[in-house]
Amino acid sequence: MVFIWIMRGVHDELAGLDLNLVLALDALLAERHVTRAAARLGVSQSAASHALARLRELLGDPLLVRGPRGAMQPTPRALILAPRVGRALAELATALRPPEAFVPAQARRTFHLGAGDYAELVLLPRLAARLASAAPGIDLFIRAVPDDIPSAIAQGDVDAVIAPARPRDVAGPGTYQRLLFEETFVCAVRAGHPAARRRLTLERYCSLDHLLIAPRGTYGGFVDSALAALRMQRRVALAVPHFLIVPHVVASTDLIVTIASRIAAAFRESHQLATLRPPPALGLSGFPMHLIWHERAHGDDAQRWLREQIVAVAGKA
């Protein structure tokens, strides 16, 4: 609130002021000579004289007066104004300069990414290793995927989001997305499971006890919807809210899980899992993973570089 009041006060004080007069004031006070000030400003002598007259009227002070031998001498008010105006213009010039080029190896910056545990497992290890090598001063802060992605990226709560893009996630103005890869589904069981010895038919699939990943804590999912359309159902013997425990449970039980292929691949050897193709009748089409960001970050060199790194590691996922 204080900042807003200060900004309004500045705007009120400067309203109606020709800011070109500030440049003229700086040149006149620095040169103390109308002709030289005109040359510095790139205007005619009459224009510089006119600017001085306007400044005298505006500030209620002669600013420069004739001294001995005709030399222009600054008034006490002018002596106070000169360094202040010079500093103000230097600050303004600095503020308006183009930002320095982003150099990854020298940069120190924190990026905030929205990602679920799937994206973390599939992409984060390679991304963290890549950043540690190319930009050791860059920090990553991973947040849960926001419920309202367009608002979160527009407000800068996160710099980008890695998730399957729903229509409402990219419907907002200024929202960009890029496809990272297409994911498919597999079924995973422990090595040595009887189901791993032969092709998985729909009937055999439904006869097994299933492990369900239910992030929102509700029963059912895309598999159950597909089965319902076929007038069939499965028994979900265990439901968990995240991926972390899944390979441990599957490796030590006879449960079967239908899971993203990259998740299964990550644990296949370490947990001695076997993977099978889901029954074709289920028609599981998989899902796309997208990188989503907002126009506010689109042209920023550092943000663009980070997105390039994400795309690069996604190509190897």
DSSP result, 273-294? EEEEPPPGGG----EEEEEEEE
The burial of 217, by beta-carbon neighbours within 10 Å (0-12 exposed, 13-18 middle, 19 or more buried), is given as exposed
Residues of each domain in the chain carrying CATH 3.40.190.10: 109-183+288-314, 185-285
pLDDT in tens, 93-136: 887 777 778 899 999 999 999 999 899 999 999 999 999 999 99
* Angstrom distance (rounded) from CA 182 to CA 159: 23
Q: Give the CATH number of domain 185-285; options: 3.10.20.90, 3.40.190.10, 3.40.462.10, 2.30.40.10.
A: 3.40.190.10
Residues of each domain in the chain carrying CATH 1.10.10.10: 2-96
Topology (CATH level 3) of domain 109-183+288-314? D-Maltodextrin-Binding Protein; domain 2 (3.40.190)
User: Radius of gyration (Cα) for the chain, nearest Å?
Assistant: 33
The burial of 218, by beta-carbon neighbours within 10 Å (0-12 exposed, 13-18 middle, 19 or more buried), is given as exposed
Report CA torsion sign: 97, 103, 107, 109: positive
- Position 7 scores a pLDDT of 43
The β-bridge relationship of strands 256-260 and 209-213 is parallel
Query: Tens of pLDDT along the chain (317 residues)?
Result: 444 434 445 566 665 567 788 888 888 888 888 888 889 888 999 998 898 889 888 888 898 888 776 678 889 998 898 899 889 888 888 877 777 788 999 999 999 999 998 999 999 999 999 999 999 999 999 999 999 999 999 999 999 999 988 888 777 788 999 999 999 999 999 999 999 988 999 999 999 999 999 887 778 788 999 999 999 999 999 999 888 899 999 999 999 999 999 999 999 999 999 999 999 999 988 899 999 999 999 989 999 999 999 999 999 87
- Position 15 scores a pLDDT of 58
CATH 2.40.10.120 is held by the domain 2-96: no
Stated pTM of the model: 0.73
Closest CA to 247 of 314, 189, 316, 170: 189
- Position 68 scores a pLDDT of 75
* Angstrom distance (rounded) from CA 197 to CA 192: 8
Closest CA to 314 of 110, 118, 111, 127: 127
Outline where DSSP puts E strands in the chain: 64-66, 72-74, 109-115, 138-143, 160-163, 175-183, 185-190, 209-213, 235-240, 256-260, 273-276, 287-294
